[in-house]
Structure 1
């Protein structure tokens, strides 16, 4: 019985995370599952939630690459320099994804942005898995202790809208920020530092 519920949790998490926007937060669905089935293990719920979320975001990462052809050339240039700035540093990508995933903010636009940038997927998946597992465990436990099923359900719309706005804001930063200027500035600093070391 429990295994069936865990598999259902993974499936629902997958569906939620394959859709680009306006879906309930995964942690909320996991918390409701804990409220409905108190005997379920919190760590197991989080693990199956991560499994479904990871698979969904994996699919999203790849289909978001096809969205690139619909982006204006100027924005493509910004995305290109964003990739040059952080994409070659696997540790930076891992830490960025890990820190982002520790919070309750949806990762849909994060994966869409990374997909458009064609950043290497492995450090993204590792950071996402660890960050989401930790955040899911904490959020499930806190939600189970603090709220009833009704209060969680009533608050979902407001929380979802705020979270989606934050996610869109992150994606806008990646697409519209002039990463070329920042990249060239950092490269100039590297050249100056190298010249000083030669003296």
Structure 2
């Protein structure tokens, strides 16, 4: 609460800085919607639409940094998984709005987006649509989550009385999904519409 009060004194700019920091970190950070909802519950005079837009902007910038950092670890990825990630990247590049739609659909849900941008980083994805789609998706989802703040946040915190446990659980699921995503044989899935997995050797260590 001290952190919320400290940055809350700077109004939207303080919230913007917090969202950048939260989203630049790959793990051990609460979902952004919880942060924004907490700020709103602390100061109900904040405009929900403006708060959501500011939050989405901070989140998008933070995820941009996360994507860049994740790209540095591509050299540790096994050749088979690296080739596999390139295939899905080429597939999305061929689609006119591939990255935009993928980012929008993911951003429009309350799911932690670190999974998406770590994968984008490993793929070395380059498209403005990544950030445009994510920003619009996050803005919409933030408006909904903030508006229904009490109804959504209170049950969530009751389930995870120990907030660290909840964050670790979410991060664990996220890491598992990244590994699963990297192990799918995308060539077979795209060309034959069949699910096949490659060897689960992710890192060249």
Q: Shorter-normalised TM-score: what interval? A: 0.7 to 0.9
Displacement after TM superposition at 1:183 (Å)? 4.1
Displacement after TM superposition at 1:173 (Å)? 3.1
Displacement after TM superposition at 1:97 (Å)? 1.3
User: Are 1:79 and 2:85 an aligned pair?
Assistant: yes
Cα deviations by residue, 1:125-180 (Å, 9 ceiling, x for unpaired): 011001100000100111145656x9579474454344334433432233111113
Q: Determine if contact 1:14/1:52 at 8 Å carries over to the other structure.
A: yes
User: Are 1:26 and 2:32 an aligned pair?
Assistant: yes
**Paired residue for 1:103, among 84, 106, 109?**
109
Q: Rg larger in 1 or in 2?
A: 1
Return the alpha-carbon distance in structure 1 between the equivalents of residues 9 and 97 of structure 2. 35
Higher normalized contact order (CA 8 Å, seq sep 6+, divided by chain length): 1
Provide the TM-score with structure 2 as the length reference.
Answer: 0.80
Query: Counterpart of 2:4?
Result: none
Query: Counterpart of 1:189?
Result: none
Give structure 2 stretches of 5+ with no counterpart: 1-7, 194-205
More helix by share: 1
Query: Counterpart of 1:116?
Result: 122
Return the alpha-carbon distance in structure 1 between the equivalents of residues 179 and 62 of structure 2. 22
**Paired residue for 1:138, among 124, 138, 144?**
144
Return the alpha-carbon distance in structure 2 between the equivalents of residues 69 and 173 of structure 1. 19
Displacement after TM superposition at 1:185 (Å)? 3.5
Greater mean deviation of Cα atoms: 151-160 or 17-26: 151-160
Greater mean deviation of Cα atoms: 11-20 or 70-79: 70-79
Query: Counterpart of 1:91?
Result: 97
Return the alpha-carbon distance in structure 1 between the equivalents of residues 99 and 137 of structure 2. 13
Return the alpha-carbon distance in structure 2 between the equivalents of residues 151 and 171 of structure 1. 25
Cα deviations by residue, 1:2-30 (Å, 9 ceiling, x for unpaired): 88211110000000000011201111010
Runs of 4 or more consecutive aligned structure 1 residues displaced over 6 Å after TM superposition? none
Query: Counterpart of 2:187?
Result: 180
Return the alpha-carbon distance in structure 1 between the equivalents of residues 153 and 188 of structure 2. 47
Provide the TM-score with structure 1 as the length reference.
Answer: 0.82
SS in 2 for 1:105: coil
Following superposition of structure 1 onto structure 2, how do residues 155-174 of structure 1 map, counting pairs within 5 Å? 156-157=163-164, 159-174=166-181
Give structure 1 stretches of 5+ with no counterpart: 187-199
Q: Cα distance 1:156–1:142, how it changes in 2: closer, same or farther (>3 A)? A: farther
